[in-house]
Amino acid sequence: MPELAFFRHGEELLRVALADRTSVGRAPDCDVCLPDPALSRLQAEVERRGDGFVLVDRSGRGTRVGAEVRSEAPLTDGTEIALGAWRALFRAGPGGDDGLTRRGGLTALRAAGPEPAPAARLRIRERARERVIDLDGDRLVVGKDPSADVVLDDPFVSARHLRLERRGARWHLRDLGSTNGTLVGGLRVAEAELAPGLAVALGDSELVLEGAARPRPAEAAFEGMISGAPALRQLFELVERVAPSDAAVTILGETGTGKELVARALHRLSSRRDRAFIPVNCSAIAESLIESELFGHEKGAFSGADRLRKGAFEEADGGTIFLDEIGELPIDLQPKLLRTLELGEVKRVGASRPLTVNVRIVAATHRDLQAQVRAGKFREDLYYRLCVVPLTIPPLRARAGDVGPLAAHFLARAAPRGLPVRFSDEALEKLSRYEWPGNVRQLKNVVQRALLFRGQGLVIPPSAVTFEDARGASAGAGDHDTLFVRGLTMEDLEREAIRLSLRRHRGKRAAVVKELAIAKSTVMKRIAQWSLQDEGRDPALSLPDEED
């Protein structure tokens, strides 16, 4: 179910499931009341529109969504909303019945059957009295009425004030329309997931959940990344450790292993998280344009440069630049990048003076960079500057056990709303025997195709699981501009064409419309239909219509 997760000082304090309309503001009658003087009484509302959610500012001053202050903004998975000292993160749909659950800061595989619920207790503070009860059942009502499961002798508590409900290993609370409201961590809430240790205030009384599963703050940063494999979990821990520093990180791994997801997690876990994350794919830009793409150009610097253009480094100032496919960076440009790394300076093409920038560099490559150095294609000094912290993502074939959970995850995301499709045991077997040259990206494509090929049934047979030729639809190095058509439907092709174009143009819809010569309304419709909103851009800064 779509939800907003609320963070204060980096700690996730509560989650609120989104109804058709959820109000957020300072006033006590908001669904989520944030007692923050920087906010209006009614700051914003999150409204369901069609299949998606939109944030509508009600303060008249705009609400910060991602990097910009907006009066209205569609929300995509991972979009951040700044609310005074609070941050809210929109999650389109947390792992539910796809066999996955989040634990220990990461999305982790549930071994078999439902996640065992840790023994939870409820500490009840009522004026001078304090007691602790075990939460044995699945739900209980708290109120003044003698029929309530927990009866409070408090004149400011309503007869049936709130309900606590267990969902898997977690506890949710719902205010039952109480007169004086329910406050969690100082927020007035209608419905929220409870973090253990956090006080729930009702009237003059307080409830504290103890001993239940606690979501860790880093969880949001790895949003969308699935793994039960020990190697990947160790990597996640390393990411958490190096993220706060400004050290240059290079992520090594085959194509489609999730290098960009890790780069985004590094950014989200750093103090730069509220600034820009700018991805640049060095293999997707013509060699003649890379310098201006990275460093910008002055007006008139070359023919066609009819206006000044800031480069990616300037755009990323204060934030993070992600140099994907760094192994493809032309050798003659490498000294310029080295200079930027050493001095924090960039010089626009055609400029006489450099500019100072403060950018954290995260690079990635599927190539063996050391071999590139030996072959004279990559400068050794640049290699050492970039690889201060090398992070290696193992290929999918080396992560036994990840294929099943990932397939279930992608299936749940791709299946029409509420359709309980699943892979047959034979289909799963076929998936787990495959070598996955295109790694997780290829698996995602295979799952989407299997869904289309399954016919009418709810159980996907092995015949619907088809693989592309050895290189795969997206499996080759630097093949973002190439489509392999064998086994693809027209719909697959259209989706891939739009997806690749979005990646090439860093998510800019107007550029996609121009490049593909498709009507803007069609492009927007397809992006929504196939959930491509995040392609080519940082979801946290996702502002779909703004730049067009």
Ligand X SMILES: Nc1ncnc2c1ncn2[C@@H]1O[C@H](COP(=O)(O)OP(=O)(O)OP(=O)(O)O)[C@@H](O)[C@H]1O
Residues that bind ligand X (CB under 6 A): 224-227, 253, 255-261, 324, 364, 366, 406, 440-441, 444
Q: CB 265 → ligand X: shortest distance, Å?
A: 10
Measured from the CB atom, the residue of 444 and 508 that comes closer to ligand X is 444
46 in Cβ contact with 22 (< 8 Å): yes
Minimum CB separation from ligand X for residue 477, in Å? 8
DSSP state of 469: S
CB of 263 vs ligand X, minimal distance in Å: 8
| Alpha-carbon span 212 to 171, nearest angstrom | 8
CB of 479 to ligand X, least distance (A): 8
237 Cβ partners below 8 Å, 6+ apart? none
Nearer residue to ligand X within complex by CB, 178 or 255: 255
Determine how many CB atoms are found less than 10 A away from the CB of residue 363: 28
Residue 366 vs 385, nearer CB to ligand X: 366
Considering the complex, state which of residue 108 and residue 212 has its C-beta at the smaller distance from ligand X: 108
CB of 182 to ligand X, least distance (A): 35
- Cα–Cα distance measured from residue 429 to residue 26, given in angstroms and rounded to the nearest whole number: 53
At a CB cut-off of 8 Å and minimum separation 6, what does 259 contact?
251, 252, 253, 324, 364, 366, 393
Of 40 and 531, which has the nearer Cβ to ligand X?
531
Question: Count of CB atoms within 10 A of residue 9's CB?
Answer: 9
Find the shortest distance in angstroms from Cβ 187 to ligand X: 31
**Using CB atoms, what's the residue nearest to ligand X?**
258
What is the smallest separation between the CB atom of 484 and ligand X, expressed in angstroms?
14
Helix (H, G, I), strand (E, B) or coil at 144: coil
- The Cα 275–Cα 320 span in angstroms is 8
CB of 203 or CB of 472, closer to ligand X:
472
Least distance in Å: CB of 55 to ligand X? 23
Which of 33, 30, 28, 6 is CA-nearest to residue 17?
6
What is the DSSP code (8-state) at residue 326? G
Within 404-467, strands assigned E span: 422-423, 459-460
Q: Which residues contact 29 (CB under 8 A, 6 or more apart)?
A: none
Query: CB-based contacts of 401: which residues, under 8 Å, 6+ apart?
Result: 109, 228, 229
Q: How far apart are CA 459 and CA 439, in angstroms?
A: 24
* Count of all residues that appear for the chain in the document: 548
Q: Which is nearer to ligand X, 16 or 239 (CB)?
A: 239
CB of 74 or CB of 256, closer to ligand X: 256
- Least CB distance from residue 458 to ligand X, whole Å? 23
Smaller CB distance to ligand X: residue 39 or 361?
361
Tokens 């619920």 locate to: 117
With respect to ligand X, which residue has the nearer C-beta, 245 or 482?
Answer: 482
Parallel/antiparallel/unpaired status of strands 205-210 and 199-202:
antiparallel
In which residue are the tokens 């539910």 written?
Answer: 96
* Smallest gap from residue 530 Cβ to ligand X (A): 12
